[in-house]
């Protein structure tokens, strides 16, 4: 049996110190990912710092932002009136993730920090650069149906599994963190990393830094939105491909477009060029098709995920169609 120490600090400072001062300590929130990783032997922290005693559950409207505490449960956020009113895209994405039981345990901070679902990462017998740097990537020549088509490297082709994060990328959320060096705000686009040669580092959080909250800047993106998730079964499954689409449309013309994809890269994949292309255009399927084609520039599939090269642009078009309220 693997022994570990468990502490439950009552202040943010004590929690941060407990992780910052021990190379082998980790925060635990809902435990829905971390406990699985521990049971499978993928990670073995010496110390678990339970953050559930901290007052980080608040959801509130502040001038210019929607503020969501890191310990707010995924189910609570998905059903919160402020979220539904101001950022319904986030609610849609959350409601599509995992199962009701899991959403009742999973927290916002834990969702952002969840690790890849690449099956080789969980299989401690096989090489995996993310789990054990320098051992190799079993997925590149292996069964890579769930894997990336954008931004992969020779070291890792895994994808980030979160639905919530795809919506947060689209909504240009800011991650508010507190660490041994003080507080800082990380724009969502800069939070997660591409694998490069260091796939074991998922994100730009420093040792001991605690996610305290996220803030979503006000926008006019509550009306024409859609989160589309394509998966193997509807009850619960990770996305093969997902799209978060948000449009601001005035008299049929697109004034603002935001798009991101999940299930296709090591981080939520923003479609900046497609967004730019759509601005000023009529909201028509012809323009949505052109945006989807542009979004696929640079896509690269592996042996078992070539289907994503078709599924991804089709999903972009469908998400935009529903967001714009166009008939089939
Ligand atoms: C069967 C199953 C199906 C799932 N399906 C989906 C799905 O379809 N879509 C989807 O998006 N997700 C899915 N998930 C993943 C689920 O959303 C995550 O497990 C969950 O969001 C993690 O949150 P948690 O609070 O339980 O995190 P924990 O397991 O407690 O922690 C996860 C990681 O986050 C770190 N952490 C937690 N809180 C903080 C914080 N505030 N600051 C810094 N670090 C922190 C921990 O140290 C740990 O490394 C699924 C999970 C399971 C088990
Ligand atoms: S894709 Fe990444 S996580 Fe999966 S086996 Fe390769 S290195 Fe490991």
| φ, ψ for residue 188, nearest 5 deg | -55, -35
Residue 288 lies in a domain: yes
User: In whole angstroms, what is the distance from residue 320 CA to residue 328 CA?
Assistant: 12
Domain housing 232: 224-324
Residue 257 lies in a domain: yes
Mean pLDDT over the full length of the chain: 97
3-state secondary structure of 129: coil
69-122 tens-digit pLDDT: 999 999 999 999 999 999 999 999 999 999 999 999 999 999 999 999 999 999
31-80 tens-digit pLDDT: 999 999 999 999 999 999 999 999 999 999 999 999 999 999 999 999 99
- Where a domain ends, among 18, 37, 52? 52
Residue 206 lies in a domain: no
Ligand with an atom nearest the CA of residue 139? 2
Q: Which ligand 1 atom is at minimum distance from the Cα of 33?
A: 29
Identify the band that residue 259 occupies on the pLDDT scale cut at 50, 70 and 90: very high
Total structural domains within the chain: 2
User: In whole angstroms, what is the distance from residue 134 CA to residue 119 CA?
Assistant: 18
Say which CATH number the domain at 303 has: 3.30.390.50
Q: Does residue 116 have its Cβ closer than 6 Å to ligand 2?
A: yes
Residue 123 lies in a domain: no
Contacts 24+ apart (CB under 8 A), 135-143: 137/199, 139/302, 140/302, 143/119, 143/304
Structure tokens at 230: 């394509």
Residue 24 lies in a domain: yes
Identify the band that residue 288 occupies on the pLDDT scale cut at 50, 70 and 90: very high
Residue 167 lies in a domain: no
Predicted local distance difference test score (pLDDT) of residue 235: 87
| Residue 228 and residue 301 in contact, taking contact as beta carbons nearer than 8 Å | no
| φ, ψ for residue 295, nearest 5 deg | -65, -25
Say which CATH number the domain at 35 has: 3.30.43.10
Distance of CA 32 from the midpoint of ligand 1 (Å): 6
Q: Does residue 249 have its Cβ closer than 6 Å to ligand 2?
A: no
59-62 and 182-187 beta bridge pairing: unpaired
Which parts of the chain fold into alpha helices (H)? 12-20, 34-39, 74-79, 81-86, 88-95, 100-103, 108-113, 119-122, 164-170, 272-278, 285-295, 308-324
Q: What is the dihedral of CA 133, 135, 139, 141, to 10 degrees?
A: 140
């Amino acid at each position: 049996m693997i022994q570990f120490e468990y502490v439950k600090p009552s202040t943010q400072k004590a929690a941060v110190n407990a992780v910052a001062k021990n190379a082998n300590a980790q925060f635990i929130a809902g435990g829905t990912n971390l406990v699985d990783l521990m049971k499978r032997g993928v990670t073995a922290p010496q110390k678990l710092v339970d953050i559930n005693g901290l007052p980080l559950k608040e959801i509130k409207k502040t001038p210019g932002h929607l503020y969501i505490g890191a310990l707010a449960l995924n189910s609570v956020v998905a059903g919160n009136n402020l979220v539904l009113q101001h950022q319904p895209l986030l609610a849609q994405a959350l409601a599509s993730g995992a199962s009701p039981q899991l959403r009742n345990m999973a927290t916002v901070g834990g969702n952002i920090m969840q690790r890849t679902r690449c099956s080789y990462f969980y299989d401690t017998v096989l090489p995996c650069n993310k789990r054990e740097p320098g051992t190799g990537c079993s997925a590149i020549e292996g069964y890579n149906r769930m894997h990336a088509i954008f931004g992969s490297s020779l070291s890792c082709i895994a994808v980030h599994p979160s639905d919530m994060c795809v919506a947060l990328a689209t909504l240009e959320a800011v991650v508010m963190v507190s660490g041994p060096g003080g507080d800082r705000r990380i724009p969502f686009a800069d939070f997660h990393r591409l694998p490069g040669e260091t796939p074991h580092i998922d994100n730009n959080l420093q040792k001991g830094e605690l996610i305290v909250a996220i803030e979503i800047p006000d926008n006019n993106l509550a009306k024409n939105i859609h989160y589309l998730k394509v998966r193997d079964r509807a009850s619960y499954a990770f996305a093969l491909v997902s799209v978060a689409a948000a449009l601001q449309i005035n008299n049929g013309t697109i004034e603002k477009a935001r798009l991101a994809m999940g299930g296709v890269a090591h981080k939520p994949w923003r479609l900046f060029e497609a967004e730019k292309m759509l601005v000023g255009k009529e909201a028509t399927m012809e323009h949505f098709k052109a945006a989807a084609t542009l979004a696929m520039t640079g896509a690269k599939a592996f042996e078992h995920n070539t289907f994503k090269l078709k599924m991804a642009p089709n999903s972009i078009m469908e998400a935009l169609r529903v967001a714009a309220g166009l008939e089939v």
